[in-house]
Amino acid sequence: MSDETTNTLRDQIQTAIDENPVILFMKGTPEQPMCGFSARTVAILQSIGKPFAAVNILPDPRIRQELSAVSNWPTIPQLFVDGDFVGGCDIVTEMYESGELHTALGLENASGPAPEPQASEPAPLSIENRL
């Protein structure tokens, strides 16, 4: 991978962070999270009701690598608010339960146990037709 490709991808990640007041880099999508940590973080954000952008890091492994270089954080998901890195699932959960997340998002303070992710419908079985 060339430095130019790396820098372009890193610039695109930084632009996404700068242009979206609340952005979550996650495995999967809010509608179909692909790991429990991403699902839990999405459930917390959805329960608060604050709109957020989401980026699925799974289609391109370079996103994860460059994102970690931007945030200096190795795990996914990663939440950014107003251009600042907030943290991963554990930190977001702790902030939610203490009410700090509401404050960071500019909402009325509320605290309590973090909501559990809702079980999504399993994808229909796909069978390749070889007839």
Return the pLDDT at 115.
57
Return the pLDDT at 109.
65
Q: Give the residue extent of every domain in the chain.
A: 3-104
pLDDT class for 7, splitting at 50, 70, 90?
confident
Q: Alpha carbon of 80 to those of 3, 85, 103: distances in Å? A: 25, 4, 14
**What is the residue type of 39?**
A
Quick one: fold of 3-104? Glutaredoxin (3.40.30)
pLDDT tens by residue, 56-113: 999 998 999 999 999 999 999 999 999 999 999 999 999 999 999 999 998 876 555 6
pLDDT class for 27, splitting at 50, 70, 90?
very high
For the packed helices 61-71 and 3-19, what is the interaxial angle rounded to 10 degrees? 70
